[in-house]
A and B are shown apart, each in its own frame.
Chain A
């Protein structure tokens, strides 16, 4: 079985973002970019499944501008076997288009499992995995914190993080899974593996080749700063705190 993992290049999670002065978006020039943390977790899980003998190959895919190749190179250094870069102009590619591209790639590559992160930390959409599962008519295991595969029965048992606790589902393969934070601890790429990754193949494709029309039905009007909170005060004792909460804020 082959596993396909979708990877997104985003502004590094530790960066304090700046909004462009024309309010058209968030500044991404000269800003540290990294693999979306949830994608790292998805990739790590795919690699572990391969290492336990349940999968033969891990293919990393990414769509976006040329620089996505760097992120794919990172995934190869972590252990993916090969990568596919779908060249799309920078700017916002909506989850629906990404889902359509992934569906087209699935039809070419025929993986038994498609792994994604549960959300990208830039657009915070939390949609792509669900959408591609819908388009493929595959079952979905979103917000996964544990995945157990049964090769004989061709099913995946997935623990999902839901509002009230945990939910366990049994999905027929092929299936789409989206990774939650608690699924695993991603590995670091070692120097020898980074060197090895340089010779691994990255195939370049275009949406046109995959016959996917990049349509957009959402128009960004503006991106602004959230309202600032007014400066608070530092109190010196528990008594003062209780007094303020009681008599000034009147919340207790």
Chain B
């Protein structure tokens, strides 16, 4: 009986979608809200595109929304148009008010685009950008967003970690369109572009901002970022992390040296950040960055629940700690009990040069 009902609903829906009213006048589809940098989409945005592909069907197309100003926006739009064969259009909002990632104009922009195009899904990465703007936009649209999705089971059913990753919650979105998600980028790896996927770039459309109205009540002042030669923590293949046991910012340089040798990114525990050994943005954990590299090496890290939350999905975990009872050893594939001040120099000597 229920099978029968379901198939009938599907037929009705299919009929609706192929109705002439809906076929050409608008997109029934998924909108990816993308970030760009230096004329290209960020790695996190490419992951959002990979996630959005889960919603694709005959009736569901994929649009990308980019905003900002200047030539780098238009370079990014051109790159975005051919970033994935499933991208069917790129929407560009060109205005100085989107130059910085202020939540107020961005949320308004999403609201504006949604009112015009009526997407079934709106997806963005669970970066600080996505976490800042998407819930605000969702409130304007009066829907509940779903944050930090790690699995898309069907177009309305998702899995997300709760309680610092100690439980996985499967939930169904039962509200009205759009269904809004931020996705955990480490769970949606970007497929390497195949050579023949470059055929045909999607059309680029300008978003009509004539009805945008007044500017918001917040102003960008400045950005302070750490310049680093090392790979980005969120996407690095290898991550080397130090904890409180490093004892000082000076000693932490050993971790940096090791990272350099491995071509790795540097991470830190909350304790190491709070003690001032490294800046905040290197913190791995429930409230910092979530990483899932091929190799995660933790030195002098005890393995608090909140830290494990940020690295438990790493492929291979190595832990070096003086305390044989440290909880980190329960998640480590390879553990070495000993003094990191002896072990790191030895590793530096014995590790092969990075490829």
Contacts and interface: CB of A to CB of B under 8 A. Distances in A.
Genuine A/B complex: yes
Nearest to B261: A252
A170 B147 contact: no
A167 interface: yes
B229 to A, nearest CB: 15
Interface of A: 11, 13-14, 16-17, 19, 26, 94-96, 99, 118-119, 121-128, 130-135, 138-143, 145, 157, 160-172, 175, 180-182, 216-226, 229-230, 232-239, 241-242, 244-246, 249, 251-252
B208 interface: no
B316 A122 contact: no
Interface of B: 100-104, 107, 127-129, 131-140, 142-148, 157, 160-176, 216-226, 234, 238, 262, 270, 273-274, 279-281, 286-287, 289, 294-295, 305-306, 312, 315-318, 324, 329, 331-337, 343, 346-347, 350-352
B216 A139 contact: yes
Contacts of B318: 241, 245
Given A127-B135, A217-B176, 5 more contacts: A135-B140, A140-B218, A164-B225, A167-B220, A249-B295
A95 B350 contact: no
A137 to B, nearest CB: 8
B348 to A, nearest CB: 10
Contact of A224 (B168, B224, B332): B168
7 contacts: A26-B167, A122-B162, A124-B163, A134-B140, A142-B132, A220-B169, A251-B295
A121 B135 contact: no
Nearest to A169: B218
Nearest to A135: B139
Nearest to A180: B287
A242 B351 contact: yes
A181 B218 contact: no
A113 B174 CA distance: 33
Contacts of A14: 305
A147 to B, nearest CB: 13
A166 B220 CA distance: 12
Contact of B136 (A131, A223, A241): A131
B346 to A, nearest CB: 4
